[in-house]
A and B are shown apart, each in its own frame.
Chain A
Amino acid sequence: MTAMTDASVAKTPRAIRDEMIVFVIMAGLLLIVPLTGIYPFFVMQALCFALLACAFNLLIGYGGLLSFGHAMFLGTGGYVTAHLLKVGAISLPYWRGLWFTIPFSPLPPELAILGGTAASLVLAVITGYVSIRRQGIYFAMITLALSQLLYFIYLQTPFTHGEDGIQGIPQGYLFGFLNLSNPTILYYVVLAVFLFGFLVIFRTINSPFGEVLKAIRENEPRAVSLGYKTDHYKLLAYILSGTLAGLAGALKVFVAQNASLTDVEVSMSGLIVLMTLVGGLGTVFGPVVGAFIIVAMEQYLSGRFGQWVTVIQGVVFVACVLTFRRGIIGEISHYLRRSL
């Protein structure tokens, strides 16, 4: 199976040093955002999606698996966190109409985020077990259908409030003293989590585990013949990707103060793919750039163009696939012959 990403740039220590430099520059730029006049909510939302896109990119760019259902992790992380923040109790159905409830009061933000991420982890393990059996297009279709299955479940489960979503979520105090209702504090918290997630992915890519993943992506039969249990590696990558996507979803709840069905829809999965495609599949910083561009597009174009935004997104999709396959960072990286 031909790889979707450009493998012509090798990972040397110099390459990793280049990437670290760009990382520092990126972190620096993001740190000073509250001092500029940019609307912080926009950047926060972009950061959440950037984390999501990076998690997705881990799977496709380094594992070679296109998941068309990553929205289910975003949504699960979001819904569970929102529920834990607002209501607290966990109710699980064990028969038609009968529920088994563990009551407890609403959790503080840090526990709620952990809860949301844990739920995504569980989901990733279950769906990964089913999906990893197939590759390529089949994998994409299966993840798509699984995410649609979850969409319908969320539509009907009472705790999500269906079409209305979970509204008016309190932001609370992180660790008891960080007031998340203050936009500046919230911004730095979001930035911190994003940088943490990004570093986790960065370390994974540049570790022995990451190298095996890349080998599997390039030529799976050869990796198998070398003795690697490729299914295990792919499953691990999937679980990591799903968990981080869930973390992004949990984070987004604090920014948007609601969790709704939009986060679990197919169009959201498509948007995630678009972000990574525009930024550059398989590049380290591509998803971040792509996320910012797409979020900006949604925010600022929808006022002017209304319904045409979907068409514009479709055109960007088509253009990227036909002529701009490496994405923005991919093209820059290829031109500079450096690893980005």
Chain B
Amino acid sequence: MQALYDHIHAFFGPALYAQLLVGLINGSFYALLSLGLAVIFGMLNIINFAHGALYMMGAFVAYFLLHLLNIGYWPALIIAPVVVGIFGMILERTMLKWLAGLDHLYGLLLTFGLALIIQGVFQNFFGSSGLPYSIPDELKGGANLGFMYLPIYRGWVVVFSLVVCLLTWYLIERTRLGSNLRAATENPTLVRAFGINVPRMITLTYGLGVGLAALAGVLSAPINQVRPLMGENVIIVVFAVVVIGGMGSIMGSIITGFALGVIEGLTKYFYPEASNTVVFVLMVLVLLVKPTGLTGRAA
């Protein structure tokens, strides 16, 4: 009996909690990124393949702000998303617009090509070694939580992501601007008849989604080296998250992002070899049972 109790106790031990917390931290990145994707897809019906590259640009802009203009982390949190967001809006105006009436698959192909260009250019100028970006002094150090030592910065990441996600959800689902955006995608002609500038709404929406990606990039810069290829691997997992959560559902993506981070953390504890495949396996299972995703709208 004691052995069984010990076993259970060991099971729920500190290592498990630590991996859960790490999973939550990773989940916050997934949530932020899938939020940006979901906004763009939900509003524009475009799969933004360039999302990973724009995430990387956010991190790079933060690096440049620090090393060229001596602008630190806190202003970068706002400036970088705005800069990359404007870049995204330019992309939308000049290229994505042309594909407005066509099959949505063209949008996917275009953003795929854009991702190749952006990543290739950065790779050429910055190699691959990664550039250092340090954690801001106010967030350095950590707290000993008993079951693990939690770096303060990582705790901040979770809190900040949660706040941003909820704010975005509120903006889109509960404000007038958000409802205009949603209406504009569902029935552009009618909305235009009301005098609302639909093309501008679309451009702004794309900018918002891109800005969210860049924000995730700034958040990740102090933890991971700032590298041209940093977005490549994470983007496909985020696609799976969005498919599971239901393409286009904002709350679905947020919840799924965090949940998947936690599930991945658990897998790393029980069966580490499967940790990078568990998200995809889950996606297959969800698709078999509920093809529109957990909270998604019908195709």
Query: What is A's interface to B at a CB cutoff of 8 Å?
Result: 1-4, 66, 68, 96, 130, 133-138, 140-142, 144-146, 148-149, 152-153, 156, 266, 270, 273, 277, 307-311, 313-318, 320-322, 325
Digit string of B189-210 for contact with A (CB within 8 Å is 1, else 0)?
Answer: 0000000000000000000000
What separation, in Å, do the CA atoms of A320 and B109 have in the docked complex? 9
Note all chain A residues with C-beta closer than 8 A to B299. 134-136, 138
Interface residues of B in 263-299 (CB under 8 A from A): 271, 273, 276-277, 280-281, 283-284, 287-288, 291, 299
Query: What is B's interface to A at a CB cutoff of 8 Å?
Result: 45, 47, 95, 98-99, 102-106, 108-110, 112-121, 123-124, 236, 239-240, 242-243, 247, 271, 273, 276-277, 280-281, 283-284, 287-288, 291, 299
Inter-subunit contact A153/B277 (CB<8 Å): yes
Chain B residue at smallest Cβ distance from A306: B124
Note all chain A residues with C-beta closer than 8 A to B102. 2
Note all chain A residues with C-beta closer than 8 A to B281. 149
Inter-subunit contact A322/B98 (CB<8 Å): yes
* A311-B113 contact given A141-B239, A144-B236, CB 8 Å threshold: no
What separation, in Å, do the CA atoms of A311 and B124 have in the docked complex? 9
Inter-subunit contact B236/A148 (CB<8 Å): yes
What separation, in Å, do the CA atoms of A109 and B120 have in the docked complex? 39
Inter-subunit contact B280/A311 (CB<8 Å): no
Note all chain B residues with C-beta closer than 8 A to A156. 273
What separation, in Å, do the CA atoms of A310 and B105 have in the docked complex? 21
Inter-subunit contact A145/B280 (CB<8 Å): yes
Chain B residue at smallest Cβ distance from A314: B116
The prevalent SS among residues of B at the interface is helix
Inter-subunit contact B236/A270 (CB<8 Å): no
Note all chain A residues with C-beta closer than 8 A to B277. 149, 152-153
Closest beta carbon of chain B to A283's beta carbon, Å? 17
Inter-subunit contact A1/B112 (CB<8 Å): no
Give 6 closest A-B pairs by Cβ, nearest first. A317-B113, A314-B116, A311-B120, A149-B280, A314-B117, A310-B120
Contact of B103 among A2, A130, A311, A322 (CB under 8 A): A2
What separation, in Å, do the CA atoms of A314 and B116 have in the docked complex? 5
Closest beta carbon of chain A to B109's beta carbon, Å? 5
Note all chain A residues with C-beta closer than 8 A to B276. 152
Inter-subunit contact A130/B284 (CB<8 Å): yes
Note all chain B residues with C-beta closer than 8 A to A307. 120, 123-124
**26 A-B interface contacts by CB (under 8 A):** A66-B108, A134-B287, A136-B105, A136-B299, A137-B47, A138-B291, A138-B299, A140-B47, A140-B108, A145-B240, A152-B277, A270-B112, A307-B120, A310-B116, A311-B116, A311-B120, A311-B124, A314-B113, A317-B110, A317-B112, A318-B95, A318-B114, A318-B117, A321-B106, A321-B109, A321-B110
Chain B residue at smallest Cβ distance from A310: B120
Inter-subunit contact B105/A4 (CB<8 Å): yes
Inter-subunit contact B243/A142 (CB<8 Å): yes
